[in-house]
Amino acid sequence: MPHHENDRCEDTCFHPKLVESVAKGLLGRKSAEELAQLFKALGDPTRVRILNALYLSELCVCDLTDLLGMNQSAVSHQLRVLRDARIVKSKKMGKNVLYGLDDEHISGIISLGSEHVRELRQ
């Protein structure tokens, strides 16, 4: 039997109460699009490394370029993507700009994601 057939019910069934219950909590199309955009922004290894660094501490672009071994233009581009997606925030400190994670939700995503990956490797 081909593998994809194992992913289907053998008998046609329908659970109306369950479907109704799930439908009440299901994201609307706009919310689903926004969540997909968040995951899309997180779907780049360089951006994930930036977020991991910012999870550990607020940093300026110069610090990030040194940590990642990248040029400032490339890091600035990735930070712009993350800022536009409201994943990181920036604040001016004298002549420097410090970057940090936007809020505790983003911190939680990075923390849980990192934990998940560590457990997969065990």
Which residues contact residue 76 at a Cβ distance below 8 angstroms, ignoring those fewer than 6 apart?
61
Average pLDDT for the chain: 93
Q: Where are the domains of the chain?
A: 12-120
CA distance 12 to 101: 46
Is the Cβ–Cβ distance between 111 and 55 less than 8 Å?
yes
Give the pLDDT band of residue 6 (cuts 50, 70, 90). confident
CA distance 100 to 116: 22
Give the pLDDT band of residue 3 (cuts 50, 70, 90). low
pLDDT in tens, 86-103: 999 999 999 999 999 999
Which CATH number does the domain 12-120 belong to among 1.10.1450.10, 1.20.58.1180, 1.10.760.10, 1.10.10.10? 1.10.10.10
